[in-house]
C-alpha cells in the first residue's frame, strides 16, 4: 500500500511539472498585445539558429530575445497602422530567399513555428524599411562632392558602378539614422510592460 501511495505521489508530481512546463506565461505587453514564454522560446531558438558560427552569450540570450520581441511588436503595430503595407508574396519570398542564403538556414529541417517566425520577421523588416522610406526619402541628400572625391572622375563602367555603390551605402546609412529616430519616437509612445 505504501508503494502505491509513493508511486501515485510521484505520478502527480511529474504530471504537475509537465503541466507547468506547458503553461502560458505573459512575459511582456506592448500596448494591447502580449508576448509569452512560448514566443520567447521561439525567439531564443531563432537567435541560436541564425548565430551558429558566433559565440552566443547564454546569460544574455533571454534578455536579447525579449528585447527583440518587444521591438518587433512595436514595429509590427506601427506597420499595421500604415496603409501601404507590402503583402506581395513573391517579393516577400525573394527577401526570404536572400535571408536564407545569407544565414544558411535549412528550411527543410526547421520546424514550422520557426519558419513562421522567420516569415514574420521578413514581413516586419521589409515593411518597416518601406515605411521609413515613405516618411524620410525626401530628406536624404547625398553629397556628390564627397563621393566624387572617393573615386576617379572618369566615366568608365567600373567607376560608375563604384559610384552607385557608394551612393547606396550613403543612403542606407542615412536611412538607418532615420529608422532609429522614428523607432524611438514610436517606442516612447508605446505602453510597454515587462513581467
Domain that holds residue 104: 26-135
Averaged pLDDT for residues 23-48? 94
Q: How many structural domains are present in the chain? A: 2
Percent pLDDT > 70 in the chain is 80
For residue 5, tell me if it sits in a domain: no
In this prediction, residue 10 carries a pLDDT of 42
Which range, 72-81, 89-98, 109-118, is most confident?
72-81
CA–CA distances in Å: residue 83 to residues 17, 70, 130, 137: 46, 22, 11, 17
pLDDT of 188 over the 90 cut:
yes
Closest CA to 172 of 135, 124, 144, 132: 132
In this prediction, residue 143 carries a pLDDT of 64
- Same-domain pairing of 130 and 168: no
In this prediction, residue 72 carries a pLDDT of 97
- Same-domain pairing of 30 and 109: yes
In this prediction, residue 78 carries a pLDDT of 95
- C-alpha R_g of the chain: 23
User: Which one-letter DSSP state was computed for residue 109?
Assistant: T
Task: Check the CA dihedral 177-181-183-187 and report its sign.
Answer: positive
In this prediction, residue 17 carries a pLDDT of 42
- Same-domain pairing of 131 and 150: no
Q: Kindly tell me the burial class for residue 126, based on how many C-beta atoms sit within 10 Å of its own C-beta (0-12, 13-18, 19 or more).
A: buried
For residue 14, tell me if it sits in a domain: no
- Same-domain pairing of 176 and 109: no
State how far the Cα of 127 lies from the Cα of 124, in Å rounded to an integer: 5
For residue 7, tell me if it sits in a domain: no
In this prediction, residue 107 carries a pLDDT of 75
- Same-domain pairing of 128 and 68: yes
Closest CA to 50 of 68, 73, 27, 35: 68
Amino acid at each position: 500500500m505504501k508503494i502505491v501511495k509513493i508511486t501515485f505521489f510521484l505520478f502527480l508530481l511529474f504530471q504537475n511539472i509537465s503541466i507547468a512546463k506547458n503553461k502560458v506565461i505573459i512575459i511582456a505587453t506592448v500596448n494591447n498585445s502580449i508576448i509569452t514564454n512560448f514566443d520567447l522560446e521561439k525567439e531564443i531558438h531563432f537567435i541560436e539558429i541564425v548565430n551558429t558560427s558566433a559565440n552566443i552569450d547564454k546569460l544574455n540570450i533571454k534578455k536579447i530575445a525579449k528585447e527583440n520581441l518587444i521591438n518587433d511588436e512595436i514595429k509590427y503595430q506601427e506597420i499595421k497602422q500604415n496603409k501601404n503595407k507590402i503583402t506581395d508574396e513573391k517579393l516577400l519570398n525573394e527577401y526570404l530567399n536572400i535571408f536564407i542564403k545569407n544565414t544558411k538556414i535549412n528550411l527543410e529541417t526547421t520546424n514550422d513555428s520557426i519558419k513562421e517566425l522567420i516569415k514574420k520577421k521578413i514581413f516586419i523588416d521589409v515593411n518597416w524599411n518601406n515605411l521609413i522610406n515613405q516618411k524620410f526619402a525626401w530628406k536624404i541628400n547625398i553629397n556628390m562632392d564627397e563621393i566624387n572625391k572617393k573615386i576617379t572622375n572618369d566615366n568608365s563602367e567600373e567607376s560608375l558602378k563604384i559610384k552607385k555603390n557608394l551612393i547606396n551605402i550613403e543612403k542606407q546609412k542615412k536611412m538607418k539614422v532615420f529608422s532609429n529616430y522614428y523607432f524611438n519616437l514610436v517606442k516612447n509612445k508605446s505602453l510597454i510592460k515587462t513581467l
